[in-house]
């Protein structure tokens, strides 16, 4: 089965062609980073308008790259949620319009299921079951994964997600948007011994996350430095390092705890924050000590992309799933509401 995947949940327009026998045929991505950077965050209306401008040209591009004619697909998958409702509607309406024109089935895909399955696009893929750490945008979740659609939520952020905390800390440090990569680069120059920030919710049982207190601690530290002598470049680097170390330690502690509680030995880390190299190194070291392994998507598939939606959609389309009627676009959609396909597709 050859599937066109469309991703428009937030500020990246992603499209891809995936073939169930031959793998990924082509993919393209347009990031709106420059568009939103001047505002310090995503402006939903601007995001929707840019998706309208970019989507069809990107689809044309990947058909050309794959050497296919327009409409030479068996089905279309699109992100139905969660995300910005206006942005989602651009992708959903385009998918349904093309599906009707090309007379092929169409299916709305859960954005986080796409991230969760993104490592399946790699040559070395994890086997089920595994624990998934999903750190994407406004989500930080630990999920027990027994198979496609067989998900049990183990823990999630009760306030700010890790990605949101990175972006807000970047603003405190007067760094550009999006904040995560800039905080990490600044942290490389920081002294890890100077500050030790709290590792939130690691001193109690459970697998939930909370990063709002860490954000407040960062702000308090910067204000104290400002009152004492002003904040210089080394101060900013040291604060960035302390913040990043606290986030990484917290994620690693919770991942290790999740594997211990479930008895599993495989971890998948996906979503934008999973591209952080220090996080990857720390996870690999911590899990190796207990005989566990960790899998990631390649860097460009950590952020939102069409390939993960095409892949996730293909698995459910192969099992016979289809949109039952009108297009679907939902801003909120808990992952645990998903169910397993009626038949088991070959992954």
Q: Which segments are annotated as binding site for substrate?
A: 134-138, 167, 180, 276
227 vs 40: CA distance, rounded Å:
26
Cis peptide before 272 (omega within 30 of 0): no
Radius of gyration in angstroms for the set of CA atoms belonging to the chain, rounded to a whole number:
20
Cis peptide before 34 (omega within 30 of 0): no
Q: Which segments are annotated as binding site?
A: 111, 115, 134-138, 167, 180, 276, 304
User: Quick one: 118 exposed, middle or buried, by C-beta within 10 A (0-12, 13-18, 19+)?
Assistant: buried
91 vs 79: CA distance, rounded Å:
7
For residue 238, the Cα-to-chain-centroid distance in whole angstroms is: 27
Q: Which segments are annotated as binding site for Fe cation?
A: 111, 115, 304
Helix axes 162-172, 233-262, angle to 10 degrees: 170
Give me the torsion for CA of 246, 224, 181, 88, rounded to 10°.
90
**Cα dihedral sign, 104-109-111-115:** negative
């Amino acid at each position: 089965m050859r599937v066109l995947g469309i991703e428009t949940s937030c500020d990246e327009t992603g499209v891809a062609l995936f073939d169930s026998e031959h793998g990924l045929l082509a993919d393209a991505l347009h990031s709106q980073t420059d568009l939103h950077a001047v505002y310090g965050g995503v402006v939903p209306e601007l995001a929707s308008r840019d998706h309208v401008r970019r989507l069809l040209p990107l689809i044309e591009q990947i058909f050309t790259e794959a050497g296919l004619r327009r409409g030479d697909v068996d089905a279309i998958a699109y992100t139905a949620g969660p995300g910005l409702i206006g942005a989602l509607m651009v992708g959903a309406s385009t998918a349904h319009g093309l599906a009707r024109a090309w007379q092929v089935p169409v299916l709305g895909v859960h954005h986080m299921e796409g991230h969760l399955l993104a490592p399946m696009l790699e040559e070395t893929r994890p086997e089920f079951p595994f624990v998934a750490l999903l750190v994407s945008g406004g989500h930080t979740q630990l999920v027990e994964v027994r198979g496609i659609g067989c998900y049990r939520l183990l823990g999630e952020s009760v306030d700010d997600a890790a990605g949101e905390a990175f972006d807000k800390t970047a603003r405190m440090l007067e760094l550009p948007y999006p904040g995560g990569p800039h905080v990490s680069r600044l942290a490389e120059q920081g002294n890890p011994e100077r500050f030790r920030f709290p590792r939130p919710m690691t001193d109690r049982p459970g697998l939930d996350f909370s990063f709002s207190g860490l954000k407040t601690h960062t702000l308090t530290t910067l204000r104290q430095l400002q009152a004492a002598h002003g904040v210089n470049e080394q101060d900013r680097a040291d604060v960035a390092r302390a913040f990043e170390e606290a986030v990484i330690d917290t994620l690693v502690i919770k991942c290790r705890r999740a594997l211990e509680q479930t008895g599993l030995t495989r971890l998948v880390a996906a979503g934008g924050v999973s591209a952080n190299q220090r996080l990857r190194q720390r996870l690999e070291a911590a899990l190796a000590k207990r005989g566990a392994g960790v899998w990631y998507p390649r860097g460009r598939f950590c952020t939102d992309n069409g390939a993960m939606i095409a892949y996730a959609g293909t698995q459910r389309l192969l099992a016979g799933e289809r949109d039952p009627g009108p297009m679907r676009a939902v801003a909120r959609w808990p992952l645990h509401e998903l169910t397993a396909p009626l038949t088991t597709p070959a992954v």
